[in-house]
């Protein structure tokens, strides 16, 4: 039986010195012999120089475990051949966490879109009901750095496809696959590999554990039928939307995307016997997360939404059907395999303003579906929109939902989101 003793007096290689790698180092270094490595040579500073792997003598090292950070691409990293040769030794941060805290209830949320919001909603509801809960993973801090953990402590974990794909031991009590659409294909290779990485959460569950999936998601359904599922599987659809709309007064949560997120959170909460009253009280107080369908301006029939976190069309589509008279700012570094899939009944009154360096891709995706023009920069797009709405007194929405990564013009979606907020403040409030 694996447990804490398995991480004592071991020779361990930690590959990748991002947030995950540093957390693993801090947790494991007291009782183990640690060697570290990162493809970025600049990280080899005076503090860790003596611990850094000598790549020329790599075959002389005999490791018990290789802890691989999520950011490391097995196919493209510098230690590619060595890792493939020693693949059976590869584990992840969530493996270490699981083996050290096997008895704690774990609720793990994944999917292409909505992970962070759903985790935060769940955490807020649990917290407001005085449940000992921790928010960890992509949205929170490393689970290995949490303090004062008791047997009754519940962990809500936001898990990426990278974390799940490389894991060897991790199992979760509750698994939620919110949705699946093409994403990270440059890393996984194809949609099948990506889907299997996500669904591994369910495939690895023990009997009597609980799993939740989106009922109408074609990618999930295509893959789930091919596997023998031991856990109890719940397929969620949209039949709860009228019920949620009746009880939720929070404008932020009433779009298609968030209604789906709420359904998952609500279903899990009911298993913990949390009352509807307490659930909706928490939901109506929820202020949302930065750059995720964030309402940053509301005045004179004008709504401005910052959804900079959107990196795929699938994360935006729900918003296109949730608002009216939309001035949609879209564009950036598109993701391999991404497509704009709309219903036959296209959303009405939408104009698209394309920005970024990939003009041709976005023009082709919007062609025959949504009227679009190219402006290049975010600043130009907003200035033009302001001119066009100057004498328009109807209800309208400026939606900044790029449906693309930010790396063509910005460091990350946060920088992109902050820049958009700055422009709105200058142009509409200045």
| 170-195 as b/e: b if 16+ CB within 10 A | bbbbbbbbbbbbbbbeebbeebeebb
Query: What is the residue-wise DSSP string for 219-253?
Result: HHHHHHTTS---SEEEEE-STTHHHHHHH---GGG
pLDDT at 46 over 50: no
Name the phi and psi angles at 354, rounded to 5: -85, 135
For residues 198 and 66, give the distance between their C-alpha atoms in angstroms, rounded to a whole number. Answer: 22
pLDDT score at 48? 64
For residues 391 and 148, give the distance between their C-alpha atoms in angstroms, rounded to a whole number. Answer: 59
For residues 260 and 254, give the distance between their C-alpha atoms in angstroms, rounded to a whole number. Answer: 10
pLDDT score at 47? 54
Q: Which of 253, 179, 275 is nearest to 218 (CA)?
A: 179
0.85 exceeded by the pTM? yes
pLDDT at 144 over 70: yes
Structure tokens at 198: 């996500």
Domains annotated for the chain, with CATH where assigned, are 4-91 (3.40.50.720), 100-285 (3.40.1190.10), 294-428 (3.90.190.20)
Q: Which of 101, 211, 113, 205 is nearest to 158 (CA)?
A: 113
- Average pLDDT on 235-254 reads 90
pLDDT score at 1? 42
* Contacts of 10 by beta carbon, 8 Å cutoff, 6+ apart: 32, 33, 64, 65
Other Cβ atoms closer than 10 A to 20: 25
6-22 pLDDT, tens digit per residue, is 788 999 999 998 888 99
pLDDT score at 4? 56
* Averaged pLDDT score across all residues of the chain: 90
Structure tokens at 25: 């180092």
51-106 pLDDT, tens digit per residue, is 888 888 888 899 999 999 988 888 888 999 999 999 999 999 999 999 999 999 99
Is residue 140 very low, low, confident or very high in pLDDT (cuts 50, 70, 90)? low
Other Cβ atoms closer than 10 A to 273: 7
* Contacts of 223 by beta carbon, 8 Å cutoff, 6+ apart: 192, 195, 196, 199
pLDDT score at 44? 62
Residue written as tokens 């579906």? 369
- Average pLDDT on 335-356 reads 86
For residues 157 and 176, give the distance between their C-alpha atoms in angstroms, rounded to a whole number. Answer: 10
Query: What is the residue-wise DSSP string for 62-126?
Result: --SEEEE-TT--TTTSTTHHHHHHTGGGEE-HHHHHHHHSTTS-EEEEE-SS-HHHHHHHHHHHH
Q: Which of 54, 53, 55, 93 is nearest to 71 (CA)?
A: 93
Of the chain, the percentage scoring pLDDT greater than 90 comes to 63
220-235 pLDDT, tens digit per residue, is 988 887 778 999 999 9
């Amino acid at each position: 039986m694996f447990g804490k003793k398995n991480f004592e007096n071991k020779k361990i290689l930690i590959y990748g010195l991002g947030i995950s790698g540093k957390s693993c180092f801090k947790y494991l270094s007291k009782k183990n012999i640690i060697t570290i490595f990162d493809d970025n040579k600049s990280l080899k500073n005076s503090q860790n120089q003596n611990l850094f792997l000598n790549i020329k003598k790599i075959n002389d090292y005999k490791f018990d475990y290789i802890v691989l950070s999520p950011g490391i691409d097995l196919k493209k990293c510098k230690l590619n051949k060595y890792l493939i040769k020693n693949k059976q030794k590869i584990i992840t941060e969530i493996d270490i966490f699981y083996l050290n805290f096997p008895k704690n209830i774990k609720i793990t949320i994944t999917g292409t879109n909505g992970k962070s919001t759903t985790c935060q909603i769940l955490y807020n509801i649990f917290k407001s009901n005085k449940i000992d809960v921790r928010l960890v993973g992509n949205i929170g801090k490393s689970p290995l750095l949490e303090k004062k953990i008791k047997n009754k402590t519940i962990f809500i974990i936001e898990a990426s496809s990278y974390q799940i794909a490389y894991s060897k031991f991790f199992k979760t009590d509750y698994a939620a696959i919110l949705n699946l659409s093409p994403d990270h294909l440059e890393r996984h290779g194809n949609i099948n590999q990506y889907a299997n990485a996500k669904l591994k959460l369910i495939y690895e569950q023990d009997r009597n554990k609980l799993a939740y999936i989106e009922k109408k998601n074609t990618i999930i359904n295509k893959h789930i039928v091919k596997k023998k599922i031991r856990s109890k599987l719940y397929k969620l659809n949209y039949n709860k939307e009228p019920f949620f709309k009746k009880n939720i007064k929070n404008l932020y949560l009433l779009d298609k995307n968030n209604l789906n997120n709420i359904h998952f959170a609500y279903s899990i909460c009911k298993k913990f016997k949390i009352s509807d009253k307490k659930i909706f009280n928490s939901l109506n107080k929820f202020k949302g997360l930065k750059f995720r369908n964030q309402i940053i301006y509301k005045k004179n029939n004008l709504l401005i939404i910052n959804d900079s976190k959107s990196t795929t069309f699938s994360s935006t589509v729900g918003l296109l059907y949730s608002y009216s008279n939309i001035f949609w700012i879209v564009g950036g570094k598109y993701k391999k395999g991404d497509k704009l899939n709309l219903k036959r009944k296209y959303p009405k009154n939408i104009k698209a303003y394309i920005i970024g360096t990939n003009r041709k891709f976005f023009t082709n995706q919007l062609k025959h579906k949504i009227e679009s023009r190219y402006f290049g920069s975010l600043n130009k797009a907003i200035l033009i929109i302001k001119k066009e709405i100057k004498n328009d007194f109807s209800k309208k929405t400026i939606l900044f939902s790029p449906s693309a990564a930010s790396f063509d013009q910005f460091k990350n979606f946060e920088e992109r989101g902050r820049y958009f907020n700055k422009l709105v403040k200058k142009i509409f409030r200045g």
